[in-house]
Amino acid sequence: MAEERFDFRTLEPKWQKRWAEEQIYKTEWDDTKPKYYALEMFPYPSGKLHMGHVRNYTIVDAIARYRRMAGYNVLHPIGFDSFGMPAENAAIQHGADPAVWTKTNIAEMEKQLRRLGYSYDWDRTVYTYREDYYRWTQWIFLQLYKRGLAYKKTAPVNWCPTCQTVLANEQVEEGRCWRCDSVVTKKNLSQWFFRITQYADELLEDLKLLEKGWPERVRIMQTNWIGRSEGLQIEFTLEPTGDKIPVFTTRPDTVYGVTFMVVAPEHPIVEKICTSGLVSEEKVREIRAFQERMKTLSEIERTSTEAEKEGVPLGVNVINPFNGEPAQLWIANYVLMDYGTGAVMGVPAHDQRDFEFAKKYGIPIKVVIQNPDHSLKAEEMTEAYVDPGIMVNSGPFDGTPNLEGIAKVAAYAEEKGIGRRTVHYRLRDWLISRQRAWGAPIPIVYCDRCGTVPVPEDQLPVRLPEGLVFTGEGGSPLARHEGFVHTTCPQCGGPARRETDTMDTFVDSSWYFLRYCDPHNDKAPWDPEVVNKWMPVDQYVGGIEHAVLHLLYSRFITKALRDMGYVNVDEPFAALLTQGMVIKDGAKMSKSKGNVVSPEEMIEKYGADSCRLFILFAAPPERDLDWSDAGIEGAYRFVNRFYRMVVSAVPMWQHARSLLPVRPGDVAGMTGALSEAELTEAIARSSLTAEDRELRRVVHTTVKRITADLQERFAFNTAISALMELTNAVYAYREQVPEEKQNALVLAEAIQKAVLLIAPFCPHLADELWSRLGYPQSVHLASWPSYDEEATRAETVEIVVQINGRVRDRLTVPAGIDAAEMQKVALASEKVQSLIAGKQVVKVIPVPGKLVNIVVKG
């Protein structure tokens, strides 16, 4: 017995094969069960799974398996986000065909996923690079186009010189490309955008629907990204010409304190001033020099908080429409052309940035919000006053508390026609064009006669041609492929050119969860009736890195599709779990650090079940997980310890079976399967020793704890520790109770429930043991174990007696003991008596079932 181990090398493949043959994870819609859609972020087929994937998928698999056993009809699919740069880079570097490269990698990754024993419905696998998928990605583009949600415009866009393509704002992190880390530059190009800004308000507002299901952190990140701000747009007038220059402010209450105005160096009014002869040639040269210098700075340098504010006066004034007073016009580095109107009013007394700027250049400071505590004097101020106060020097608003003033000034401005209330967002439209060939072609044709023409839906997909030549130079291979570029106009039949850009791969991934619901549909991307049954995703699990990117795009696409009537949910993902990273020696695993742990090697050495167990046990899912070689050894030991516990109990199990009545259909000599109910009944009829009852208590408490851990929170680590305690209790029982006195029924119950409980974590081990117990059907089709509340109650409990909050004694008392009785027992304790002798008992606080605290004085 001591030698026996779970032979994962033969048994894991055995069960994987059996599951596949019997299709036990195949999911069909079932009206009789509640649905549960468990989803993980599908992988990019890089070729090898890393530990991050394994953690992500093991978490979702445990959830899916638990829900399945708990009676849900579970949808748990997988797919491959298989368009994108790495395939194309492989083509450029090694001459590989991206399609072949991708296919090979997918095959490799599928193999690894199968070796981990995940309970996917493999029939639903989606591959975004296949025609039967990207055809519908193109279809979605056309639907957006039809409704004005996809459009082309020329704009300064982010350009990654390494990836040789444009990027969406979300894909630029601190001025660098999210994939390759190159510094991103600006280019003025005509590109396709999705009008996500039309949904800005709803995307923000509906975060409220996700308050329960999503981490606060992610909701905050999206809120910040959308960056809604309410304010007043005011038109100042350029004194010499009468040109209107609108500014946006969230502080209308400070408008009487304006002493200057700043516009971005790229602001069109600057050009007008320079070419109008309003200012001296010398001034123009000064302005041009400043503009040039700003251009050479990178976005990061220009917008960093540390950069000192600097600017150049334009030598002209603007007029404040509120009081008719002139204010100097400047250009400065700290005003950005692409936020608000590209022009801001300068109120140095009440804005720290304006204050610094004014101090540096000797611009006047005018106090218009008076500090109610100390009277502010402009010349004595060392920083802007930004706290609440009373409006002064503000014409009709003098004496108004400034917080009230915000609304009053805005209303006044609208009434007088000098301003209007507006809302600004930081969110920009989603730039989806990519100058890359390994993606879904944008289904648009340009015709000299008809202009921009969408490809008719019945002509989809616009196929990616085979045999593209990848050189890495001269733009996208698609644009150089004559056969692809030249086509005929779907409207007039004349010669036309295809759009040669493909779509951002984030478009592919912003609807895959819908396709999983109806993956084989070749008439439509999905049948709304089917999708509406499965959606929303009940639990989504993935890394925090998509907090804004994928999760925002998917929310937008879902809302747009909802408005078109193709889906009926407002939000695609009802609940989100952002799992922590897998780290090693305190750092993220990376090749350069040499601390990468390969899942393949771990499976080879310890088996999939041990890997899964360790990953779930070592840390709560949302926290970072420190990989430890010793830790996985421990998991491996537990797998074997559990295995021995069950295998060695088989004779006892058979004995238990023999104690129960023979049922019709039982075959002589076979163990036969014991139902939970049969066992419970038989135990109820038998008499139990104190040890039997104690073991039962542990068994039933464990079921209760693990159920709560899996149902209410994803506390796999404590669930597994409870399972370890149960295992320890079974060993202890068998060690302490002489064999002839051991209760076969109670042991059988313990074994049965233990195997069911471990099934979500170690599916191969569980199924092997389940079959050894004589069950013909997979454990994964069995019901989640139940527990008897009565059996979880202990007969006696240990209570703690404290004196002045310090533990002084421990007493064993009957479980049901009331407060008064507890108090009596506590005070009667010899130890307590000796400690309180000669002291005055001030108070006694009994906490039922837990402790008694005796407060003494003297």
Q: Contact region for RNA (CB under 7 A) — 159-167, 673-681, 725-733, 755-763?
A: 725-733
* Tokens at 157, concatenated: 């866009």
User: Interface mask (CB under 7 A) for RNA, residues 226-265, using x and -?
Assistant: -x-x-x---------------xxxxx------------x-
Under rule CB under 7 A, residue 266 binds RNA: no
Under rule CB under 7 A, residue 96 binds RNA: no
Under rule CB under 7 A, residue 820 binds RNA: no
Contact pick of 624, 681, 795, 818 for RNA (by CB under 7 A): 624
Contact pick of 209, 307, 524, 670 for RNA (by CB under 7 A): 307
Q: Contact region for RNA (CB under 7 A) — 96-104, 297-305, 558-566, 749-757?
A: 297-305
Under rule CB under 7 A, residue 853 binds RNA: yes
Q: How far apart are CA 194 and CA 191, in angstroms?
A: 10
Contacts of 644 (CB under 8 A, 6+ apart): 1, 2, 4
Per CB under 7 A, contacts with RNA among 167-186 are 173-174
CA angle 393, 399, 400 (to 5 degrees): 105
Q: Contact region for RNA (CB under 7 A) — 186-194, 464-472, 626-634, 747-755?
A: 626-634
Contact pick of 182, 291, 521, 721 for RNA (by CB under 7 A): 721
Q: How far apart are CA 154 and CA 738, in angstroms?
A: 85
What residues pair up with 390 in beta bridges, in sequence order? 370, 401
Cis, bond preceding 265 (omega within 30 deg of 0): no
Under rule CB under 7 A, residue 640 binds RNA: yes
Pairing type for strands 444-447 and 451-454 reads antiparallel
Under rule CB under 7 A, residue 630 binds RNA: yes
SS3 79: strand
Would residue 426 be called left, alpha or beta, if left means φ above 0 and alpha means ψ between -120 and 50 degrees? alpha
Contact pick of 28, 211, 601, 735 for RNA (by CB under 7 A): 735
Contact pick of 107, 209, 670, 807 for RNA (by CB under 7 A): 807
SS3 133: helix
Residue number, 587 or 670, with CB nearest to RNA: 587
Under rule CB under 7 A, residue 403 binds RNA: no
Under rule CB under 7 A, residue 389 binds RNA: no
* Tokens at 775, concatenated: 């069950």
Under rule CB under 7 A, residue 626 binds RNA: yes
User: Interface mask (CB under 7 A) for RNA, residues 308-327, using x and -?
Assistant: xx------------------
Residue number, 466 or 789, with CB nearest to RNA: 789
Contact pick of 217, 244, 285, 360 for RNA (by CB under 7 A): 217
Under rule CB under 7 A, residue 724 binds RNA: yes
Per CB under 7 A, contacts with RNA among 327-356 are 333-337, 339-342, 344-345, 351, 353
Burial of 740 (C-beta count, 10 Å sphere; 0-12/13-18/19+): exposed
At residue 192, what are phi and psi to the nearest 5 degrees? -90, 140
8-state DSSP, 537: B
Nearest CA among 494, 469, 472 for reference residue 482: 469
Residue number, 447 or 730, with CB nearest to RNA: 730
Under rule CB under 7 A, residue 212 binds RNA: no
Per CB under 7 A, contacts with RNA among 642-681 are 644
Under rule CB under 7 A, residue 221 binds RNA: yes
Q: How far apart are CA 758 and CA 629, in angstroms?
A: 22
CB of 421 to RNA, least distance (A): 12
Under rule CB under 7 A, residue 55 binds RNA: no
Contact pick of 273, 413, 535, 618 for RNA (by CB under 7 A): 618
Nearest CA among 42, 122, 107, 32 for reference residue 75: 122
Alpha-carbon distances, residue 718 vs 581, 638, 792 (angstroms): 19, 15, 18
Give kind and range of the element (H or E) at residue 554. Answer: helix 549-564
Under rule CB under 7 A, residue 52 binds RNA: no
Render the burial of 822-845: b for 16+ CB within 10 Å, e for the rest. bbebbeebeebeebbeeeeeeebe
Per CB under 7 A, contacts with RNA among 548-577 are 548
User: Interface mask (CB under 7 A) for RNA, residues 407-446, using x and -?
Assistant: -----------------x-x--------------------
